[in-house]
């Protein structure tokens, strides 16, 4: 089903409905992070080819937007069906390319299938409005306005390595159903998964040029793509450093960046539940989630019991290869900065409760107690299985420490007092607050928003479609 995307030596890129190789004849190897073997090579496209991809998407966009909405939705449904039929193959690719445990890999594919189906359905429900001129004092009853949602044009979709199918689809599907064309730039690690996703849309009947794929190093073509005048909107998920560079662009942006999510555990919390949720939130996919729990802020009276139970949960985690469906697998990024943060914290007085063991890029789940606000690990996102515990004197200090972060993605509050939970939630400067649950993205119909250095715009199916459209007002002046 996916034979066309690969030649004998490398994967191709999608341009105008066809899979082709770069004229520059340069490729980038994609390695299995578990054993270093080469899975294949992707095209290192030239700037000229990137330009052609954007121009092609621009030329095809108006006819795509003119296609009836129900026809665009039908194509999305078909793409989802193709993914569902290929779920075992795609899950295996996730295991090999991004070291995702097999169970989590299957979950990602099936979640993406649902996401695309629901995006197609939600697209049919997106509406404009009618506004009346006499609805405000001094207004006139001989005026009314039609307010429509129209596409931006070309959406540049830049996806990360950690959810290379789901997070790519969460950009591509809403953009397409809204009538935009898409130039898709996957992360180099994760690009093979992204190319298979693109072929599912291609096979489903997305017209030539409406979805083009650009592969290669971000350092070579990234700045060119993000500053191209033919791009109408940039939808980016990735590091905060790159996202903040994009904020300087004079172009509509949709950014999902880093996080340093805190779990605040109050005196009356269900400690058993809190420990299980915190462990799952901190160590799922080896901590390589922007929504992972990355700090625990417990009240004094329950801190020791909570920490004991967290460590007990961590001891149950299986460490090893994704092929064996281990919960902790090799990380994608450089492990040295992570190790340096752990070492710095231990030198400064933090207490190691479990972990601090490493084999190359496989890091054992690590829990550090007595972390203080003057330690780097209290503020920096490690993107690895490391959990610092910062003991606080009361809930006000917990809120203050949570809000002091440059990030504002999510926070969790554990308490049996729902009134207190809501009161604290209102004071937290984050886009999402979880009550008695781990921080997470989804369900995909929920709004998912980052504050401060964590993002711009809202994910979530309906919210994403709305964010990828702009309002246009047509005023009708009635004449007798």
Q: Catalytic site residues? A: 256, 290
Q: How far apart are CA 147 and CA 242, in angstroms?
A: 34
| Best CA proximity match to 257, nearest among 272, 267, 271, 247 | 247
What's the CA dihedral at 339, 345, 347, 349 to 10 degrees? -150
Tokens standing for residue 59: 């030329």
Parallel/antiparallel/unpaired status of strands 27-31 and 38-43: antiparallel
Q: How far apart (Å, rounded) are the C-alpha atoms in residues 289 and 382? A: 10
Query: What is the C-alpha separation between 391 and 370, in angstroms, rounded?
Result: 7
Evaluate the omega torsion of the peptide bond into residue 2 and state whether it is cis, within 30 degrees of 0.
no
Closest CA to 347 of 387, 323, 374, 328: 374
Cβ proximity of 391 and 438 under 8 Å:
no
Long-range interactions of 475-479: CB distance < 8 A, separation 24+:
475/143, 475/144, 475/145, 476/143, 476/144, 476/145, 476/146, 477/142, 477/143, 478/142, 478/143, 478/144, 479/142
Please give the DSSP secondary-structure letter assigned to residue 198: H
Asked if 232 and 155 touch (Cβ cutoff 8 Å), the reply is: yes
- Residue 95 has φ and ψ, to the nearest 5°, of -60, -45
**Distance, CA of 164 to CA of 113 (rounded, Å):** 14
The torsion angle over the Cα atoms of residues 416, 417, 422 and 426, rounded to 10 degrees, is -90
- 103-120 burial code (b ≥16 CB/10 A, e <16): ebbbebbbbbbebbbbbb
Q: Which residue has the tokens 């107690």?
A: 369
Sequence-ordered list of residues with C-beta below 8 angstroms from that of 221, at least 6 positions apart, any chain: 45, 46, 47, 50, 185, 214
Q: Which two tokens stand for residue 469?
A: 């459209």
**Residue 353 CB contacts under 8 Å (≥ 6 apart), including other chains:** 307, 311, 367, 368, 369
């Amino acid at each position: 089903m996916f034979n066309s995307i690969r030649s004998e030596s490398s994967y191709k890129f999608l341009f105008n409905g066809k899979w082709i190789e770069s004229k520059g004849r340069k490729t980038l190897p994609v390695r299995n992070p578990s054993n270093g073997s080469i899975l294949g090579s992707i095209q290192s496209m030239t700037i000229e080819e990137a330009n052609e991809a954007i121009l092609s998407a621009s030329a095809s966009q108006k006819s795509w937007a003119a296609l009836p909405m129900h026809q665009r939705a039908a194509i999305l449904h078909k793409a989802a069906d193709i993914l569902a039929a290929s779920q075992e193959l795609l899950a295996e690719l996730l295991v090999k390319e991004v070291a995702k445990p097999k169970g989590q890999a299957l979950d990602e594919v099936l979640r993406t299938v649902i996401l695309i189906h629901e995006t197609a359905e939600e697209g049919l429900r997106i509406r404009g409005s009618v506004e009346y001129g006499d609805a405000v004092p001094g207004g006139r009853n001989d005026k009314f306005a039609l307010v429509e949602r129209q596409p931006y044009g070309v959406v540049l979709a830049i996806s990360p390595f950690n959810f290379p199918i789901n997070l790519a689809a969460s950009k591509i599907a809403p953009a397409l159903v809204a009538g935009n064309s898409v130039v898709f730039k996957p992360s180099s690690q994760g690009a093979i998964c992204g190319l298979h996703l693109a072929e599912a849309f291609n096979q489903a009947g997305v017209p030539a040029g409406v979805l083009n794929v650009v592969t290669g190093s971000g350092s070579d073509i990234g700045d060119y793509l993000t500053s191209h005048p033919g791009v109408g909107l940039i939808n980016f998920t990735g590091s905060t450093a790159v996202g903040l560079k994009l904020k300087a662009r004079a172009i509509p942006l949709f950014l999902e960046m880093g996080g340093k999510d805190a779990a605040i555990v109050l005196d009356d919390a269900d400690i058993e539940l809190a420990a299980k949720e915190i462990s799952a939130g901190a160590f799922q996919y080896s901590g390589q989630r922007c929504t992972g729990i990355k700090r625990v802020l417990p009240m004094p009276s329950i801190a020791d019991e909570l920490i004991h139970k967290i460590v007990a949960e961590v001891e149950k985690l299986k460490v090893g290869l994704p092929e064996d469906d281990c919960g902790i697998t090799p990380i994608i990024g450089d492990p040295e900065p992570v190790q340096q943060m752990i070492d710095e914290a231990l030198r400064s007085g933090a207490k190691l409760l479990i972990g601090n063991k490493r084999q190359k890029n496989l890091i054992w789940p690590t829990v550090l107690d007595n972390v203080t606000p003057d330690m780097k690990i209290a503020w920096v996102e490690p993107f690895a299985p490391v959990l610092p515990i910062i003991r606080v004197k009361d809930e006000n200090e917990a809120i203050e420490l949570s809000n002091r972060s440059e990030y504002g993605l999510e926070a969790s509050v554990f308490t049996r007092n729902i009134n207190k939970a809501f009161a604290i939630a209102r004071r937290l400067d984050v886009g999402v607050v979880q009550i008695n649950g781990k921080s997470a993205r989804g369900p995909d119909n929920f709004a998912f928003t980052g504050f401060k250095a964590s993002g711009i715009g809202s994910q979530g199916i309906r919210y994403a479609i709305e964010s990828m459209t702009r309002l246009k007002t047509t005023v009708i002046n009635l004449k007798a």
